[in-house]
Amino acid sequence: MTYKTLVDILENNRGVDRAVCYVDGENSERRISYGDVYTRALGILHHLQALGAARGDHMIIFLSNNEQFLDGFWAAVCGGIVPVPLAVGISDEHRHKLLRVAAKLGKPWLYTDAKNLARLEDLAAQLGESALFAQLRSRSFLVESITDISRSAVLHRPNPEDPAFIQFSSGSTSEPKGVILTHGNLVANTISSTAVDRFTTDDISLSWMPLTHDMGLIGFYLMQFANRVHINLMPTELFVRRPLLWLQTASKKHATITCSPNFGYRHFLKVLGDRKLEGVDLSSIRLIYNGAEPISVELCNEFMDTLAYTGLKRQAMYPVYGLAEASLAVTLPKLGAEFRWMRVNRHRLNVGTRVEQNPEDPRDALELVCCGEPIPQTQVRIADDERGTIADGHVGHILIRGPNVTRGFIGDAEATALAIDAEGWLDTGDLGFLYEGSLYITGRSKEIIFVNGQNYYPYDLENIAQRVPGLELGKVVAAGVRKPAQQVEELIVFVLHRGSTPEFLPTAIAVGRLINELTGLEVAQVVPVKRIPKTTSGKVQRHLLEQGYADGEFDAELAELAQLRERQSGGARVSGSELEARLQGICETVLEGKRVDVSDNLFEIGASSLKLIEIHETIDRDFPGLIDLTELFDHPTIHELAKHLEAKLAQAVLPVSA
């Protein structure tokens, strides 16, 4: 099969007996044949062209429904319109990001639904961006308006160098960067990855990764579609609510390929607990990709050991390294071998330093997983701070070059010039080393915080925290820290405070609540520090604070803060009405280990977006269809939510007028 663009792939596959299966529940799914994918794309494109959308335009896709998302994506691609996928999320920060991206793009089209458009309008009014929203609304296409796709559009045949879509960073960024990926980039990565991983038409894939993420859209949709694989897609929120359904579905479908970032394995194991998956056979899985965030060796072993009884082979665990700028894959392990790792001295990982293996003191040991070798056509080079090549076994900046690598960022010539040099080498922003031809990732030079498979920029979170009275930039430092005994990174916020610990408690609560409310992220600790270490040029030395926290330097202050919180909450519980008691029980079950009073603000006590989804799912099970997930933001205490739900229940039982 020969192809040079995504349109070639779509056309070549319209007659094959394969389908995309959208899994919405245990016994709920919808099957769309490859041929129907093509037909629907041209039918929807007809409507977009009738509105005036044309070749070279940008179209933001802002939908949480996978099927609607991909219909819009293919329609745009077939018309030479450049799709710009953005995550809907559950907080205003995601909608604010859309407005920032729209401003960067100029005059994009917006492919969304009425509910999301209404929420976007409300936020734009609050932010004073009504003029920008008015322009977006005039160029919006609502999926509810699609009633007839019988008329085909004019198909545009792109060149390999034409942009296929724009991939914006997945986290919260005040100045979002959009990676331009061409048809040629994506085809090159698909061909090279296929050569290593040997996808065939007998493969069956299953993914719950969001389609706004490069692993979800490229790795587990476009790449699989190109190889005529049986594709199964599960909504991310369904996995979050019911993680066990992921592997139960894999067993039912006899999946051969699936994936998860670090946090997904941890979430699955936590919900599974001491139970076993009855009747689950995972012996058909040949590859279970592990990427998208730093990989925990301990967690890989725990996951594989826990599920060994299902027939899941250790050789199936497949740690990989990739990024959007590479159209996804950079390095992949050899097939058929167990995953490998190396123990190194955590204190000997600076740029230019030779890696010290197997340190004598166990406290110095850090386990780094092997992410495999560079894929065909992709070059990897380890460089010093001046971009000079350094020897294998030494830590440095990871640079990449190849036909799959982006040529730049949309509307940002400065960022493009900083990232890509005259010879085409792109600085990934990550640090690592090559050993015996394989890549090991040690850290990152761009100071990105990885939480729950997403990347967040410290400056943005610090901007949010400094809205707390008395705080300002330079006095707040956000960081991602993983202590030696932990499997994943935690979000830690350091705040300059020279007073007593009791005086700091209100600030700690306010900072945690504000970041939680605006990003859906749970702040593990807000740490009072006497000094913010900086370089002579005034740049914050984030790594010194991270190291101090990991070494237990602030444990005494944090223990005192925990005691103060406990004392403040008091021993007495306010149970209130029966409805409040039921909601209180739900919250305390989901927020395991936390005591929740009916007057507690869920954001103040650290209910992450994952936990909010769990809480909503449980409430919806008891009171179907009455509470929308976003209403938890409007009624963040049990008392307020109970009153709101009580009104909904009263309305639901009112007699219908004759």
pLDDT digits (tens, 9 = 90+) for 146-174: 989 999 898 999 999 999 999 997 554 45
Q: How many CB atoms lie within 10 A of CB 653?
A: 6
3-state secondary structure 479-491: EEECCCCCCCCEE
Greater pLDDT, 254 or 544: 254
Q: Residues 380-411, buried b or exposed e (16+ Cβ, 10 A)?
A: bbbbeeeeeebeebbbbbbbbbbbbbbbbbbe
Dihedral Cα 404, 408, 411, 416, nearest 10 deg: 160
How far apart are alpha carbons 427 and 417 in whole angstroms? 10
The model's pLDDT over 495-539, given as tens digits with 9 standing for 90+, comes to: 999 888 889 999 999 999 888 887 777 888 999 999 888 754 456
Residue 538 φ/ψ, nearest 5 degrees: 95, 5
Q: Is 61 left (phi over 0), alpha (psi -120 to 50) or beta?
A: beta
User: Is pLDDT at 102 greater than 80 in this prediction?
Assistant: yes
> Amino acid letter at 209?
M
The pLDDT of residue 172:
44
Better-predicted residue by pLDDT, 533 or 540: 533
Supply the angle between the helices 130-138 and 92-105 in degrees, to the nearest 10: 70
| Per-residue model confidence (pLDDT) at position 343 | 95
Q: Give the residue among 385, 372, 365, 465 at the shortest CA–CA distance from 431.
A: 385
pLDDT at 453: 62
CB 327 within 8 A of CB 218: yes
pLDDT exceeds cutoff 90 at 612:
no
pLDDT by residue (tens digit) across 439-478? 999 877 766 676 766 657 677 788 788 888 888 767 899 9
Mean pLDDT of 56-79: 97
Beta-bridged to residue 32, according to DSSP, are 20
**Residue 525's closest CA among 577, 585, 479?**
479
Residue 569: predicted pLDDT: 63
- What pLDDT, on the 0 to 100 scale, is given for residue 652? 61
CA angle 587, 592, 598 (to 5 degrees): 30
DSSP string, 198-239: ---TT-EEEE-S-TTSHIIIIIIIIHHHHTT-EEEE--HHHH
Bigger pLDDT: 314 or 579? 314
CA distances from 37 to 19, 42, 67, 326, 369 (A): 9, 9, 10, 26, 38
pLDDT of residue 127: 93
Q: How confident is the model at residue 626 (pLDDT cuts 50, 70, 90)?
A: confident
Judge if pTM exceeds 0.75: yes
C-alpha neighbours within 13 Å on the C-beta side of residue 500:
3
Poorest-pLDDT segment among 279-288, 290-299, 302-311, 601-610: 601-610
The answer to whether 583 and 494 are in contact (CB under 8 A) is no
d(CA 265, CA 39): 37
Is 207 exposed, middle or buried, given 0-12, 13-18 or 19+ CB atoms closer than 10 A?
buried
The per-residue pLDDT for 173 is 47
Over residues 261-278, the pLDDT tens digits come to: 888 898 899 899 999 999
For the stretch 171-222, pLDDT in tens is: 544 577 899 999 999 999 999 999 999 999 999 999 999 999 999 999 999 9
| Residue 222 near residue 194, CB atoms below 8 Å | no
Max Cα distance, the chain (Å): 83
pLDDT band at 92; cut points 50, 70, 90:
confident
Distances (CA, A) of 287 to 204, 258, 299: 11, 6, 17
Q: Which two tokens stand for residue 462?
A: 């610090």
The two three-digit tokens of residue 434, written as one number: 């090559």
Q: In DSSP terms, which residues pair with 383 in a beta bridge? A: 389, 397
User: In degrees to the nearest 10, what's the CA dihedral of 86, 87, 92, 95?
Assistant: 20
Structure tokens, 398 = 């990871």
pLDDT at residue 18, as a whole number: 97
Mean pLDDT of 333-352: 90
Q: How far is CA 308 from each of CA 145, 269, 277, rounded to the nearest angstrom?
A: 49, 13, 11
Three-class SS of 365-428:
EEEEEECCEECCCCEEEEECCCCCECCCCECEEEEEECCCCCCCECCCHHHHHHHECCCCCEEE
The pLDDT-based confidence of 577 (bands split at 50, 70, 90) is confident
Would you say 638 and 575 are in contact if contact means Cβ atoms under 8 Å apart?
no
Q: Measured between alpha carbons, how far is 434 from 220 in angstroms, rounded to an integer?
A: 27
- pLDDT of amino acid 591: 83
pLDDT for the residue numbered 576: 55
Q: What is the pLDDT of residue 363?
A: 67
Evaluate whether 594 touches 569 at the Cβ level (below 8 Å): no
The confidence score (pLDDT) of residue 535 equals 53
Compute CA 93 distance to the chain's CA centroid, rounded to the nearest angstrom: 14
Judged against a pLDDT cut of 70, whether residue 134 lies above it is answered with yes
pLDDT of 315 higher than 90: yes
Complete DSSP assignment for 585-641: HHHHHHSTT----TT-BTTTTT--HHHHHHHHHHHHHHSTTT--TTHHHHS-BHHHH
Residue 349 confidence (pLDDT) above 70: yes
User: Which of 413, 419, 417 has its CA nearest to residue 399?
Assistant: 419
Pick the more confident residue, 551 or 426.
426
The length of the chain in residues reads 658
Residue 623, pLDDT score: 84
Q: Which two tokens stand for residue 253?
A: 């479908």
From residue 234, alpha-carbon distances to 20, 385, 519, 616 in Å are: 11, 42, 23, 19
